[in-house]
A = this chain, B = another copy of it.
Amino acid sequence: MSPLFVHDADRSQRIGLPEAVFCASKTVDQLAAVLNALLAEGSRALLTRLAPEQHAALSDDLRRRLDYDPISRTAFLGPVAPPPGPPRVAVVTGGTGDQRVAEEAARTLAFHGEAVERHYDVGVAGLWRVLARREALARFPALIACAGMEGALFSVLGGLVPGLVVAVPVCSGYGVADGGRAALSSALASCAPGIVVVNIDNGYGAACAALRALRASAGR
């Protein structure tokens, strides 16, 4: 009577972003049901937090229809066109451990037709790495910064570039950095004006925020 999955079919029209499928808390049966419903509708979809084990447990047929990336744990259902223009979003990371989150953002943007430029491993302990890229980074209307530990990258970046800086605290590190809480509070308390923050590890949300900013301005 009450279906488990109620597709928010007009979300795209309402807010410019189609519904994505968050796979982390779904069983394989639930995933298959959702995918089949989307296929029946002929809908494209982005899947996030799809663990390799979940992906491997899907039927061959469903797996064949998915473009899966194990680093970002994302999959595309349906065709994804190449971006129509040059990158409008820079994705920046502090260290190697931030890559999976940065790639979730990059893949989300790719699904929505936006190219990104990657600036990885430019953490603050070696400040010259980010300073050397200042001019390049200052050209972007939107930047997604992913950093764990103490997240000093957010403030440094926010003080160097005029674009919208979306900070994604990353769950890496140990002790007080465990779970990404130190980076989260660092991002929220930043002394650089106008930095905005999404939930820990939420590369998907950061990409959606960048899309909101880009599309809304384009529409004016």
Point out residues on A near B: beta carbons under 8 Å: 1-6, 8, 10-11, 14-17, 19-20, 22, 24-26, 30, 34, 88, 94-97, 99, 117-129, 138, 140-142, 148-152, 154-156, 158-166, 169, 171-202, 204-205, 207-209, 211-220
Q: A120 — nearest CB in chain B belongs to which residue? A: B2
B120 touches A3 (CB 8 A): yes
CB distance from A195 to the nearest CB of B (A): 7
Bound form: Cα–Cα A176–B166 in Å: 17
Main secondary structure of the interface of A (DSSP, over half): mixed
B15 touches A212 (CB 8 A): no
List 7 tightest A-B contacts by C-beta distance, closest first: A217-B217, A194-B208, A175-B200, A8-B126, A25-B97, A141-B216, A196-B196
Q: Which residues of B contact A124 (CB under 8 A)?
A: 152, 155-156, 159, 191-192
Per assembly, the copies of the chain total 8
B191 touches A182 (CB 8 A): no
Q: A91 — nearest CB in chain B belongs to which residue? A: B2
Bound form: Cα–Cα A129–B2 in Å: 12
Q: Which residues of B contact A212 (CB under 8 A)?
A: 162-165, 194
CB distance from A208 to the nearest CB of B (A): 3
Q: A14 — nearest CB in chain B belongs to which residue? A: B160
Known: A3-B120, A124-B159, A125-B11. A175 touches B164 (CB 8 A): no
B185 touches A181 (CB 8 A): yes
Q: A19 — nearest CB in chain B belongs to which residue? A: B126
Q: A162 — nearest CB in chain B belongs to which residue? A: B16
Q: Which residues of B contact A141 (CB under 8 A)?
A: 213, 216-217, 219-220
CB distance from A201 to the nearest CB of B (A): 6
CB distance from A209 to the nearest CB of B (A): 4
Bound form: Cα–Cα A160–B128 in Å: 10
Bound form: Cα–Cα A113–B138 in Å: 22
Q: Which residues of B contact A209 (CB under 8 A)?
A: 164, 194-196
Q: A215 — nearest CB in chain B belongs to which residue? A: B162
